[in-house]
Amino acid sequence: MEETRILKIKQEILAGNSREADTFRAARWAEGTFMMDVMGSPGAGKTTLLLGLIEKLRSEGGAEVGVIEADLASDVDALKMKAAGVASVELNTKNVCHVEMGMVEKAHAAFGSRRFEYLFLENIGNLVCPAEFDTGCHCRIMLLSVPEGYDKVYKYPPMFAVVDALVVTKCDYLPMNPDFDMEALRKAAGVLNPGLKVFEVSARSGEGMDGLAAWVRGRRVATLA
Amino acid sequence: MEETRILKIKQEILAGNSREADTFRAARWAEGTFMMDVMGSPGAGKTTLLLGLIEKLRSEGGAEVGVIEADLASDVDALKMKAAGVASVELNTKNVCHVEMGMVEKAHAAFGSRRFEYLFLENIGNLVCPAEFDTGCHCRIMLLSVPEGYDKVYKYPPMFAVVDALVVTKCDYLPMNPDFDMEALRKAAGVLNPGLKVFEVSARSGEGMDGLAAWVRGRRVATLA
């Protein structure tokens, strides 16, 4: 039947992708690069969060940082990174809704011989599809912005279930969103993913950014140990 | 090759879906139902906009309105509609990132013999995948909320290209987002889609909702003429 055939092909694609991801992840580990996948809806604040986080990571001993900026089209985000002096490569998926290993490998190759202590993949703005695809990273985080609403945890469970941390962004909007129920969000996310780490931040005001940066540094050390 | 095989299957799926959509659309037309697909990112404000729009549509002669609420999981939005006295059916895609005709047909059948003057499909919160799938509606609109940022028009072009109207939501957030460039958004969207109608609204304050409701009424009349 059509559905069975599609499911079988999808499983083949995901299995092949996971094998490539394991090889890529091991190669980054061997060279001392900690790589993190950053996911979330369009406009959740991924680029702004990364700019703030990278500033924190560089402030201690000037860590070498690179960013792969994935988008369906355009180079808007890569240009923002370049303007901040961050090495970046634009990965245009040409309207594909997620990032797969073939794309990651090509984007990484575009850095040439440059090596990083931290390499970030800013994934496609999509709260659904990227959760399914291993991108060869050591750690995955997702952003949920306050204006999106806390109930997204009920409506888009797969991504909450697969990430290492949930970063609640744009917390400076909380006073305008009195119905944003942080406790309900933490509780529901904890049911989907008992080990999930939760951060409440505002990249604009800087709130919570030190704690997030400390956690990222710790994850690098633990991963490369 | 793998990619050619996948592309071929995808084309077959989309073609089959479009045939079913045409049949479904004609059946709704024959019974006097105008159906609209409402798309946008998670948290763009689809449910809140629909609640405001439906209130306007009902205020003139008490139009019969139904809503199909699509989500990966949960019945959060269908319950909100029911609480407002709107006939609604929850369509759970079971983690699929878009809505296809088989799902629309099942959800519509769940209304039984009830018939509507306006039937809305609140699509999955996803700015990418739903653009590709014809859902048998007479009209498609997309929402972009001010907190998401105007630059999404550059990064997610396909949806801007296929819809009949772009509704910029949460315009009450404009004072907190001085970098939201409405003119640049209108210009870029107009290049992707020269016939695109653009509305600036706030469902919270009611701003712009009368104009949107008038346009929807007009589209119904023109479609069913």
Place of tokens 């694609």: A13
Residue A71: which H helix or E strand, with range?
strand A65-71
Q: What would the pLDDT profile of B112-134 be if each residue is shown by its tens digit?
A: 999 999 999 999 999 999 999 99
Q: Which residues of A touch B (CB under 8 A)?
A: 2, 5-6, 9, 13, 41-43, 71-74, 76-77, 95, 97, 124-129, 145, 147-149, 151-152, 154-158, 170, 173, 176
What is the dihedral angle through the alpha carbons of B163, B167, B173, B177, rounded to the nearest 10 degrees? 40
Which pLDDT does position B144 carry in this prediction? 98
Closest to A126 in 3D by CA, of A165, A95, A82: A95
Q: Mind spelling out the 3-state secondary structure of chain B? A: CHHHHHHHHHHHHHHHHHHHHHHHHHHHHHCCCEEEEEEECCCCCHHHHHHHHHHHHHHCCCCCEEEEEEECCCCHHHHHHHHCCCEEEEEECCCCCCCCHHHHHHHHHCCCCCCCCEEEEEEEECCCHHHHCCCCCCEEEEEEEHHHCCCHHHHCHHHHHHCCEEEEECHHHHHHCCCCCHHHHHHHHHHHCCCCEEEECCCCCCCCHHHHHHHHHHHHHHHHC
Q: Which residues of B touch A (CB under 8 A)?
A: 2, 5-6, 9, 13, 41-43, 71-74, 76-77, 95, 97, 124-129, 145, 147-149, 151-152, 154-158, 170, 173, 176
Residues sharing a CB contact under 8 Å with residue B66, sequence separation 6 or more, in sequence order: B86, B87, B88, B89, B111, B114, B116, B118, B119, B120
Residues sharing a CB contact under 8 Å with residue A221, sequence separation 6 or more, in sequence order: none
Least CB-CB distance to B97: which of A6, A9, A97? A97
**pLDDT of B7 strictly over 90:** no
B102 in any annotated domain: yes
A1 in any annotated domain: no
A165 in any annotated domain: yes
Interface test mutation site (partner B, options A127, A179, A180, max chain B beta carbons within 10 A): A127
Cα Dmax for chain A: 58
Arithmetic mean of pLDDT, B18-22: 97
Arithmetic mean of pLDDT, B185-209: 98
**pLDDT of B2 strictly over 70:** no
Which pLDDT does position A4 carry in this prediction? 77
Provide the CA B170 distance to its chain's centre, in angstroms: 16
Which pLDDT does position A192 carry in this prediction? 98
Here the tokens at position A88 are 């970046």
**pLDDT of B75 strictly over 90:** yes
pTM of the entire predicted model: 0.95
Place of tokens 């906009």: B49
Confidence of residue B23 (pLDDT cuts 50, 70, 90): very high
Which pLDDT does position B13 carry in this prediction? 87
Angle in degrees, 0-180, between the axes of helices A46-59 and A76-83, rounded to the nearest 10: 20
**Nearest-CA distance A186 → chain B (Å):** 17
Which pLDDT does position A61 carry in this prediction? 80
Q: Strands B87-92, B118-125: parallel, antiparallel or unpaired by DSSP?
A: unpaired
A149 in any annotated domain: yes
Q: What percent of chain B has pLDDT over 90?
A: 92
Question: In this predicted model, which residue has the larger pLDDT, A62 or B20?
Answer: B20
Q: Model ipTM?
A: 0.93
Cβ B117 vs Cβ B34: under 8 Å: yes
Q: Do A154 and B73 touch (CB under 8 A)?
A: yes
CATH code of the domain containing B118: 3.40.50.300
Which pLDDT does position B4 carry in this prediction? 77
In 10 A of CB A112, how many CB atoms?
Answer: 7
Closest to B49 in 3D by CA, of B118, B120, B133: B120
Mean pLDDT of the residues in chain B: 96
A68 in any annotated domain: yes
Q: How many residues does chain B have?
A: 225
**Nearest-CA distance A2 → chain B (Å):** 9
Three-state DSSP class for A91? Answer: strand
Which pLDDT does position B62 carry in this prediction? 83
A51 is in which domain, residue-wise?
A: 10-224
Closest to B143 in 3D by CA, of B52, B22, B66: B52
B1 in any annotated domain: no
> Nearest-CA residue of chain B relative to A128?
B97
What is the dihedral angle through the alpha carbons of B88, B94, B95, B96, rounded to the nearest 10 degrees? -80
Chain B partners within 8 Å of A72 (Cβ): 128, 155-158
B200 in any annotated domain: yes
Chain A partners within 8 Å of B41 (Cβ): 41-43, 125, 127, 148
A4 in any annotated domain: no
Tens-binned pLDDT, residue by residue, of chain A (225 aa): 567 777 788 888 899 999 999 999 999 999 999 999 999 999 999 999 999 999 999 997 889 999 999 999 999 999 999 999 999 999 999 999 999 999 999 999 999 999 999 999 999 999 999 999 999 999 999 999 999 999 999 999 999 999 999 999 999 999 999 999 999 999 999 999 999 999 999 999 999 999 999 999 999 999 999
Arithmetic mean of pLDDT, B74-99: 96
Count of the separate structural domains present in chain B: 1
